[in-house]
Structure 1
Amino acid sequence: MHLVNPVVRGFAPDPSVIRVGEWYYLATSSFEWFPSIPLFRSRNLADWEHAGSVGSAVPGSSLLGVPDSAGIWAPALSHADGLFWVVYSIVRSIGRRYFDLETYVCTAPEVSGPWSEPARVPGHGFDPSLLHHDGRHYLLNLQNDSRVGGRRFDGIVLTELGVPVVEGVPDVAGVRAAGPTHLLLQREELVEGPKITVKDGWFYLLLAQGGTGVEHGVLVARSRSLTGPYEVDEVPLLTSRDDPAVPLQKAGHGELVRAPTGEWYLTHLAARPVATPGGPRNPLGRETAVQEIAWVDGWPRLAQGGWHPQTAVTVPDVAAPPPALLGDSPAGLDVAPAWPWSTLREPAGDWIDTTSRPGWVRLRGRMGPESLWEQSLLAQRLTEHRAEIEVAVDASPTTHTQSAGLVLWYDTASYYRLHVTWAEPAGERQAGQQWRGEGRRVLVLEHGHPDGSRVLATVEAPDGPVLLRAETDGAVARMFAGAARGDLGSVEPDLDLSELSDDFGGRLRFTGAFAGISVVDLVDGAFTADFSAWTMRVLPREEWRR
């Protein structure tokens, strides 16, 4: 059978894959989003379903205050001693000399949990992974030299970890460094994301090279000894940097896995660009793809030859039901706040009420869209370049500090939101909260931008619940509003959806575009709004186009 890449679509970067029995398991980065560390499983590498998350990954369950695109970077899955293991870094600074990060390990008897409380380990940088070999445990890391004049990507290091055993089970709470740290490899170019695969007496070190943009790739080194020296294969295993016409761009950050029938495969991240006047951009973020591997003269190579990722890949013919991740999304507000819904910087809390009004979800407003703290935002990943999103909102704001509605979101500096709010009578100037008078209920289309937010349109809101709609098509998005579906009118102008991407804004950004609902109350966090009839329809996977 054939799979169609990407296999996990829409903001699923830095995939780490393992196989346990007949199942493959996959973890991806979550950055500032909850649930932390989404987990997926598949029996055939083509059809993936959500399998839970590492709910205990963040100490105190709070990433409040972390910058956009910080948080949990590059978790790595492994399995040993009857347990699933995950190691990851929480990055608290970005674009600075210091990453201010901690590295943690959690374990669970099943991938669905329960996951242990995180145990901190001595991390030298982000992108950790674990190697379990001959009954011992080793931590691989990128090394960061944060000194003035130091290199932020200064090689790959390895440290043995001591893990006590209590009643025959590893006790991760007592994990510690059990020996010196070994430098495995240093290169002038940027290398990160180390993973080791042991095969035929060789230790194969897979590295993400060139950064996570269009120069990204997968480099392989090998050694007969775990601690090196490592010989580098200067031919890349995977990259699309030399050909902008390859449909899957930014290909890199890979990990090897072996099928039960003996074939080898590589999971990696990639992105599907759309053309814009500013160059290719990727509003869907970096996604997860799979490639078939052949071994040639002791080195892994793409089975089809060359190093460009393919969109169609042969995999073992194992039947599996189609996942709910793709095509028309059945995940309406009836499942909120569970997957595929996500929240910013903290898990869903008491600001979400799913019981007070049958058929509706009530959100209590909190901070505004540019806050790094308590936002009342509930959103789903965009998984295709064409989508239709609808939701009804019932809200009665009485001040400009209250609003509720639909959002297209990348981060606190890049978003579009169509919100029901309050405004002074037409023709009256803005006069703050002290304005006295009747006012009016309006719909405001606001554009969050790195250079400062702006209002694109203000229109009168119809009486009663308002139906809001967004349509996306490649780099373009459009907003609509009305009292009912047959009454929808366009809220001009057209929007540049490609701004909701890593490739816009001139700073480090690593996530992907979301669509969702949000409520704001800047005064006392008491204003509520009700939402119903959420739908998100996307173009079927076979029909995506650049």
Structure 2
Amino acid sequence: MNKKRNYSNPVLPGFYPDPSVIRVGSDYYLATSSFEYVPGLPIFHSKDLIHWEQIGHALTRTSQIDMHSRKSSEGIYAPTLRHHEGVFYIITTDVMGIGNFYMTASSPAGPWSDPIKIPYGNIDPSLMFDDDGKVYVTAQMGADEESHIIQYEIDIKTGKALSEPVIVARGDGGVWTEGPHLYKINGRYYLICACGGTGRDHRVLVYRGDTPYGPFEMMPHPMLTHNRLPGHPIQNVGHADLVEDTEGRWWAMFLGVRPVDGQYSVFGRETFLAPVQWTDDGWPVVDNNEGTVSLEMSAGPLFHSLPSSASEPNWRDDFTDKQLGHRWTFLLAPSEEQALLGTRPGYITLMGNGFTLRDEGPALFLGVRQQHRAVTVTTALQFAPQREGEEAGIAVRLNERGNLTLGMRQSGEARTLIAAMTDRGQTTVIAETPIRTEQLLLRVAAEEREYTLLYSLDGTAWHEMGSVPARVLSPEGNGGFTGALVGMYATGNGRHSETPAYFDYFGYDVRE
């Protein structure tokens, strides 16, 4: 007899919002939003819906999308991942760019095609392949209370519309009816969509009908929401996608937030998993303010082969490979413009441009998503700045309004180590000290409620430069749709740097 096993939510911690999931045979694949970060649209693989490994990105080339002019929380919004007759499809929105488009690939790891544009829809497009060979796009239109869902048929080879868009859902009276997905389950068509905005009133609505265009009836209550559970450790749940496992059991992947003290989260929106229960009259339900979606969940007997524990969360990159690992991401500009591997073996080389992390624009920042509340990140920097303003170091970035830096800077004839915080767009120097060496270790120690910046000359004695409240690095504190990334940066503070910054390694060590 199979014993029930437990799993922890979120199954994909850190800034990984708007999950879309599919099963192909016994394999599961997942895509999430990426907004202003490049490469974009991270793709993951799993055998059990619980343990996920990133296998690539869908957006890896400037020929697909040029992100240079995007701003924070613009760029690539919610994707939908689908598979049909041996081809993988991902459809998404380049906000303030080319709009809605989809791409194809023979493998979810890529490479993915150049974008195929579609004519209608605002954000959150989805694809549905029907049994009769027709392909439907379902997407959001309108704004606020007037937000609604449209649908139309396309030629999947060209993206050309084969029908005019039809309104299929208007929500339940709340703002921002969006994030739609259409399914055919047991001969009936089910349409789910998010509503209420992506904050505390977030919820998932479900409709059903006998044709792809309905007419749809709406289930009287949300399929998923915690909007009446203010004390629950998981808030803002919504924007779900459904998947059937190999045993015929249904699951929902969706976003949620884990607020500290009920107030903020540096992770932003993360990816959660919960089973779908089907009512006797044929409605799918996940959690309508019952509190059944929790941080610890039962996987049931179907996942009896689950590993007994999670994979090791600690890691270190010594930059010895020919390419950066999939966890790394840049701000707006692709890696070939920003960082070099191999020019100095065992190091990654950053050559700062004129932008800083306080600016709107492609500042040179190489980061990874913070995935744990109590974590220490450390890097070893070798840098000999010569020109006024040349600077490099370690950073935590939410956006240009909220970030934290600890870097070596050339100031006149002096070389200075400067700790700085940007909060609500205003930058404050926390501490600074003269530095005569060209190499030192830099560290950020994160806790639930604060971040501490430290440096060391020998790897043994660590010197604290100051602490800042964690709320500075949260969307609740400084806005936007993303979460905190930790990483390395370089800048010329207004002009291109002429001095390379060499980083020997980057270590991520969890303390919780």
Matched, 1:537 2:509: yes
For residues 64 and 108 of structure 2, the distance between their equivalents in structure 1, rounded to whole angstroms, comes to 21
What does residue 25 of structure 2 align with? Answer: 21
Matched, 1:398 2:386: yes
Matched, 1:242 2:215: no
Give the match's secondary structure for 2:218.
Answer: strand
1:350 CA drift (Å): 4.2
1:69-468 alignment runs, 5 A limit: 69-92=73-96, 102-134=99-131, 135-144=133-142, 151=144, 153-163=146-156, 172=157, 174-187=158-171, 188-190=173-175, 191-275=177-261, 280-296=263-279, 297-302=281-286, 306=290, 308-315=292-299, 316-317=302-303, 319=305, 327-335=313-321, 337-366=324-353, 367-424=355-412, 439-468=413-442
Could you list the per-position Cα deviations for residues 381-421 of structure 1 after superposition, in whole angstroms to 9, with x for gaps in the alignment?
10011100111111122344210000011111110100101
8 Å Cα contact 1:406-1:419 kept in structure 2: yes
Could you list the per-position Cα deviations for residues 212-241 of structure 1 after superposition, in whole angstroms to 9, with x for gaps in the alignment?
112112111111221122111122221122
For residues 451 and 41 of structure 1, the distance between their equivalents in structure 2, rounded to whole angstroms, comes to 38
Matched, 1:486 2:452: no
Which range moved further: 347-356 or 481-490?
Answer: 347-356
Q: Flag the 1:90–1:489 CA change in 2: closer, same or farther, 3 A.
A: same
For residues 504 and 304 of structure 1, the distance between their equivalents in structure 2, rounded to whole angstroms, comes to 28
Which range moved further: 402-411 or 521-530?
Answer: 521-530
Give the match's secondary structure for 1:504.
Answer: helix
Q: Flag the 1:517–1:123 CA change in 2: closer, same or farther, 3 A.
A: same
Aligned AA (2:272):
A
Out of 482, 485, 495, which is 2:468 matched to?
A: 495
Q: Flag the 1:57–1:131 CA change in 2: closer, same or farther, 3 A.
A: farther
Counting aligned pairs with the same residue, the percent is 28
Out of 496, 501, 506, which is 1:524 matched to?
A: 496
TM-score (normalised: structure 2) = 0.92
8 Å Cα contact 1:399-1:421 kept in structure 2: no
1:333 CA drift (Å): 3.4
Out of 477, 480, 486, which is 1:504 matched to?
A: 477
Structure 2: 5+ residue stretches without partners? none
1:57 CA drift (Å): 7.4
For residues 323 and 54 of structure 1, the distance between their equivalents in structure 2, rounded to whole angstroms, comes to 30
For residues 289 and 462 of structure 2, the distance between their equivalents in structure 1, rounded to whole angstroms, comes to 51
Aligned AA (1:496):
P
Could you list the per-position Cα deviations for residues 328-361 of structure 1 after superposition, in whole angstroms to 9, with x for gaps in the alignment?
1244534563321110112211431221322222
Aligned AA (1:517):
M
Which range moved further: 39-48 or 521-530?
Answer: 521-530
Aligned AA (2:506):
W
Which range moved further: 523-532 or 183-192?
Answer: 523-532
Could you list the per-position Cα deviations for residues 66-85 of structure 1 after superposition, in whole angstroms to 9, with x for gaps in the alignment?
11101000000011121011
Aligned AA (1:381):
R
For residues 106 and 12 of structure 2, the distance between their equivalents in structure 1, rounded to whole angstroms, comes to 24
Could you list the per-position Cα deviations for residues 271-294 of structure 1 after superposition, in whole angstroms to 9, with x for gaps in the alignment?
11112xxx6101011111100111
What does residue 449 of structure 2 align with? Answer: 475
Aligned AA (1:86):
I
Question: RMSD over aligned Cα, in angstroms?
Answer: 2.2
Aligned AA (1:281):
Y
Give the match's secondary structure for 1:235.
Answer: coil
Give the match's secondary structure for 1:411.
Answer: coil
Q: Flag the 1:299–1:534 CA change in 2: closer, same or farther, 3 A.
A: same
Give the match's secondary structure for 1:236.
Answer: coil
Aligned AA (2:275):
E
1:247 CA drift (Å): 1.6
Aligned AA (2:401):
A
Give the match's secondary structure for 1:349.
Answer: helix
For residues 153 and 381 of structure 1, the distance between their equivalents in structure 2, rounded to whole angstroms, comes to 34
Q: Flag the 1:463–1:114 CA change in 2: closer, same or farther, 3 A.
A: closer
Q: Flag the 1:307–1:481 CA change in 2: closer, same or farther, 3 A.
A: closer
For residues 442 and 138 of structure 2, the distance between their equivalents in structure 1, rounded to whole angstroms, comes to 48
Give the match's secondary structure for 1:180.
Answer: coil
For residues 68 and 368 of structure 1, the distance between their equivalents in structure 2, rounded to whole angstroms, comes to 14
Q: Flag the 1:355–1:515 CA change in 2: closer, same or farther, 3 A.
A: same
For residues 363 and 24 of structure 2, the distance between their equivalents in structure 1, rounded to whole angstroms, comes to 38
1:321 CA drift (Å): 6.5
8 Å Cα contact 1:239-1:309 kept in structure 2: no
For residues 323 and 123 of structure 1, the distance between their equivalents in structure 2, rounded to whole angstroms, comes to 45
1:423 CA drift (Å): 2.3
Aligned AA (2:11):
V
For residues 159 and 281 of structure 1, the distance between their equivalents in structure 2, rounded to whole angstroms, comes to 39
Give the match's secondary structure for 2:408.
Answer: strand
Aligned AA (1:518):
Y
Q: Flag the 1:182–1:332 CA change in 2: closer, same or farther, 3 A.
A: farther
For residues 394 and 104 of structure 1, the distance between their equivalents in structure 2, rounded to whole angstroms, comes to 42
Aligned AA (1:189):
G
For residues 99 and 305 of structure 2, the distance between their equivalents in structure 1, rounded to whole angstroms, comes to 40
Aligned AA (2:168):
L
1:245 CA drift (Å): 2.0
Could you list the per-position Cα deviations for residues 411-453 of structure 1 after superposition, in whole angstroms to 9, with x for gaps in the alignment?
11110100101224xxxxxxxxxxxxxx211111111222422
1:323 CA drift (Å): 10
For residues 122 and 244 of structure 1, the distance between their equivalents in structure 2, rounded to whole angstroms, comes to 40
Aligned AA (2:141):
Q
1:526 CA drift (Å): 2.4
For residues 139 and 453 of structure 1, the distance between their equivalents in structure 2, rounded to whole angstroms, comes to 44
1:325 CA drift (Å): 7.6
Which range moved further: 113-122 or 304-313?
Answer: 304-313
For residues 324 and 295 of structure 1, the distance between their equivalents in structure 2, rounded to whole angstroms, comes to 30
